[in-house]
Amino acid sequence: MKVFQLAKEIGLTNEELIDILRQLNVKVKDSKSQISEEISKKVKDFVKKKKDIKPFKKIKIREGITIRELSDKLQIKAKDIIQRLFNKGFLVTVNQSIDSSLAEEISKEFGIEIELMSIEEEQLLKAEEKKENLVPRAPIVTVMGHVDHGKTTLLDAIRETNVVEQESGGITQHIGAYKVNVNGKTIVFIDTPGHEAFTRMRARGAKVTDLVVLVVAADDGVMPQTVEAINHAKAANVPILVAINKIDKPEADSWKVKNQLAKYGVVPEELGGDVVCVEVSAKQKTGIKDLLEMILLVSEMLELKANPNIPAQGIVLEAKLDPKRGPVATVIIQHGILRIGDAFTSGVSYGKVKSLFDENGARLNEAGPSTPVEVLGFTSVPTAGDSFQVVSNLDEAKKIVNFRLSQLEKKKIIRPRRLTLDDLYKRIEEGEIKELPLIIKADVQGSVEVLLDAIPRLSTEKVKIKIIHAAPGPISESDVLLASASKGLIIAFNIRPSRKILEIAEKEDVEIRFYNVIYKLTEDLKKAISGMLVPEEKEVYLGTAEVRKIFKVPKVGIVAGCYVTDGKIVRKEKVRVIRDNVQVYEGIIASLKRIKEDVNEVSKGYECGVAIENFNDIKVGDILESFKIEKIKPQ
């Protein structure tokens, strides 16, 4: 009988039956696997014993769940769960939090499969389930672009304030979030100090931005950081709107900018693409109204919505320790309404909202969806990119954070599994990989162009090679963070990163592959995709011996009496038999003796007896050359 036939007979899904078979230590590949009558009987007995419980229903539980909460979720008496845990050597109370792996194990014993969620995921699920409560929300816009192309000046013109003069050296030094009203509608702008901040948040799974406004100077055109911004926005799958700034300058050429953008996949509407470009002058404050209207138009097409009727949820944009006010964080609210007095968690920090301030320093009583707000009341400084979640009370917040800290202590840092070229094929076959994200850094622009032309052609039906960023110059921290967030590889062509960058790559678990020959790079990619990339083999010479006498040993066969003329002869290593300068056999040294004693190796100047595995045609005068094969990870 096959698995799917038995599943149908006893009223289970294929997955439920396979799960039961695994519990009974029966290995099956899939639902078409054959199982014996004896196994079928065991399965039926197993299900019969659990007839009072619906077999393997699936429920979701959140992290740090207590025994009481687990009892309610499973609809099983708390004392039965406590008894099972006691039998396993755990003494617990009903109000004690339980480890997720232990909760999973106990649940399976009761015939229930659980799926662990964070409290933020649980609330987000509730927000999505209650679709009737969803209301339109303001778009959150990130302003990006090359240095000195007028990002902050543009925001300054929009807000009619003077942010630039407040910044050190006229350069933005921190993340600022600003709320702007346009014809009765709101737009929230985030001004970032660089792409690292944008990427770090995305690397932590925090998708804050709905739209990227790419600022390009009309007199300067597309520059390296412009390209970087484009690649970061594309990797985050965030739509782009282009603001062509400094249009008032005599040397301004917006068509040149549009043509340059098209080369990098940002094709303006005027050239047949779908990217909106707006010409502005932040200094003269012209075109600003058109830009804002276009932002609202693009946002309407995105149909952005939030649920204001659930506990407030958001993302920490920045955090600091203020000498007078203590830990302070700028949070952008995504769902719900945050109020003074609300208890909350944020990563491994928690607290109770003491005060709320808007971007102008004015006090607020509450903050709704798409509102940037400064929050006071943290017990410790959170991390930018951490989720922010309101909970029922301070005790619950403390309990959740203590649980998270205990899990971190147990597991230290749990890294997402990153991509390496060596395990690429296996993961393609398992269905994990559909795209191979690459970042290319090379010595000169010429090399970059050649690689941009050669590498995409290696894509196959199973995997598409996607170059998310390519530029000349050394590998930067931004490159490593982009690779980390995109789970991609960095290809370094004719360049070597600094020690600091290598340390960051190691910390972020990003693989950097070094090449100086293009065909070697393309060869490795081809082999990786087709599953043929294997460790290189290097032959290591060990030693040579001359056969001086032949012995016939009962139950062993032919043993060669040898004299080691160079290096050493090593047992269980490979050996070549050379006769008249021609190799006649290659095999393994089966046994090695020195004065009737078994030994592992015999060095130069000593005699020994050698028996070669599956080879008896050995003659006096033959030369035995001992060697071994070392496998070297491809570089």
pLDDT tens digits along 142-187: 888 877 788 878 888 887 744 444 444 444 434 467 788 888 888 9
Let me know if the fold of 313-411 is the same as that of 537-632: yes
> Which segments in the chain show pLDDT lower than 50?
52-55, 161-175, 412-417, 532-534, 634-635
Residues 424-530, CATH architecture: 3-Layer(aba) Sandwich (3.40)
Domain ranges of the chain: 3-119, 138-303, 313-411, 424-530, 537-632
pLDDT at 322: 85
Measure the CA–CA gap between 438 and 373, rounded to whole angstroms.
37
pLDDT at 131: 65
Q: Supply the pTM of this predicted model.
A: 0.56
DSSP character for 633?
Answer: -
Plot region of 150 (φ>0 → left; ψ -120 to 50 → alpha; else → beta):
left
Please provide the DSSP assignment of 211-252 as one string: EEEEEEETTT-S-HHHHHHHHHHHHTT--EEEEEE-TTSTT-
pLDDT score at 76:
84
Report d(CA 385, CA 405) in Å as an integer.
Answer: 18
Angle, helix 100-109 to helix 78-87, in steps of 10 degrees: 110
The first and second tokens of residue 385, run together, are: 């990119």
Distances (CA, A) of 543 to 263, 539, 563, 566, 569: 59, 12, 11, 5, 6
CATH topology of domain 138-303: Rossmann fold (3.40.50)
Please report the pLDDT score of residue 161 as a whole number.
47
Q: What is the pLDDT of residue 295?
A: 93
Checking DSSP bridges between strand 363-364 and strand 387-391, what pairing results, if any? Answer: unpaired
The pLDDT tens digits for 213-226 are 999 999 888 888 88
CATH T-level topology, domain 313-411: Elongation Factor Tu (Ef-tu); domain 3 (2.40.30)
Question: Tell me, what's the pLDDT at 8?
Answer: 76
Give the CB-side neighbour count of residue 449, counting CA atoms within 13 A.
4
Of the candidates 104, 92, 93, 91, the residue with the CA atom closest to the CA atom of residue 63: 104
The CATH number fitting domain 537-632, selected from 3.10.580.10, 2.40.30.10, 3.40.50.720, 3.40.50.10490: 2.40.30.10
Q: Say which residue the tokens 């039965």 belong to.
A: 80
Q: What is the DSSP string of 179-208?
A: EEEETTEEEEEEE-S-HHHHHHHHHTT---
pLDDT of residue 327: 92
Per-residue pLDDT at 242 = 94
The whole-angstrom distance between residue 550's C-alpha and the CA centroid of its chain comes to 62
